[in-house]
Amino acid sequence: MFGISYLDISAGMGLTATGLLTFNFLLGMMLSTAYKRSVYWKKLPDAVKKFSIDDLHNWTAYIALLFVFMHPLFLILDHSSKFTFTNILFPLDAPKQPTIVLLGSLSLLALLIVIITSQKVIKKKMGFRFWKNVHLISYGTALLFLFHGLLMDPELKDRPTDWLDAEKFFSEFCLLLLIAASIIRYNYHRKHKTA
For residue range 124-143, what is the model confidence (pLDDT) as tens digits?
Answer: 999 989 998 888 888 889 99
pLDDT at 1 over 70: no
Mean pLDDT (the chain, rounded):
91
Helix 6-31 × helix 166-194 angle, to 10°: 10
Q: Which residue has the higher pLDDT, 59 or 34?
A: 59
Element (H, E) at 47: helix 46-49
Q: Where are the domains of the chain?
A: 6-194
Residues 6+ apart with CB under 8 A from 81: 6, 7, 75, 95, 96, 156
Element (H, E) at 6: helix 6-31
For range 142-160, the mean pLDDT: 92
Task: Output the pLDDT for position 177.
Answer: 96
* Confidence label for 36 from pLDDT (cuts 50, 70 and 90): confident
pTM of the model: 0.90
